Amino acid sequence: MASSSGNDDDLTIPRAAINKMIKETLPNVRVANDARELVVNCCTEFIHLISSEANEICNKSEKKTISPEHVIQALESLGFGSYISEVKEVLQECKTVALKRRKASSRLENLGIPEEELLRQQQELFAKVKKKNKRNLPNLSLLFYP
């Protein structure tokens, strides 16, 4: 369980997420609680290991932000090269989703109604509502002063 004291060193991946992954990887297998706990800690250590290596690679590259490429190189240099092809699928998915979003938002912009027209329509609607309210007011006052 993550510490609520704010101490960064107590941060781990939530147990529930690990349990879910274990269950999906080993369905119908019982796993002792202390084994689960160890997996949580190992996962956390793994993240520290890779990010630390990626950070070093990043520093050497004179860039300020750790990029996916740095992570990939870190995986390779630490012996986890077999993860790279699947990890690259995530990158591809990110780019596809980002591209879809850009296309979708530009489609919305191009619906064809310019802003001035939208404003005019809005003013019309407000005017209509005002008129409607004026007609209704006498009825409302009957409610309050029977």
Q: Which of residues 48-107 bind another protein (CB under 8 A)?
A: 48-52, 54-55, 63-72, 75, 78-80, 83, 86-91, 93-103, 106-107
Q: How many residues bind another protein (CB under 8 A)?
A: 73
Shortest distance in whole angstroms from residue 121 CB to another protein: 23
Residue 129 sits in the site that holds another protein (CB under 8 A): no
In the range 108-127, which residues lie near another protein by CB under 8 A? 109-110
Residue 139 sits in the site that holds another protein (CB under 8 A): no
CB nearer another protein, residue 85 or residue 139? 85
CB nearer another protein, residue 99 or residue 125? 99
Give the N- to C-terminal CA distance of the chain in Å, as an integer.
Answer: 62
Cβ–Cβ < 8 Å for 34, 63: no
Cβ–Cβ < 8 Å for 107, 92: no
Cβ–Cβ < 8 Å for 36, 15: yes
CB nearer another protein, residue 86 or residue 145? 86
User: HSE-up of 6 (CA within 13 Å, CB side)?
Assistant: 0
The whole-angstrom distance between residue 102's C-alpha and the CA centroid of its chain comes to 17
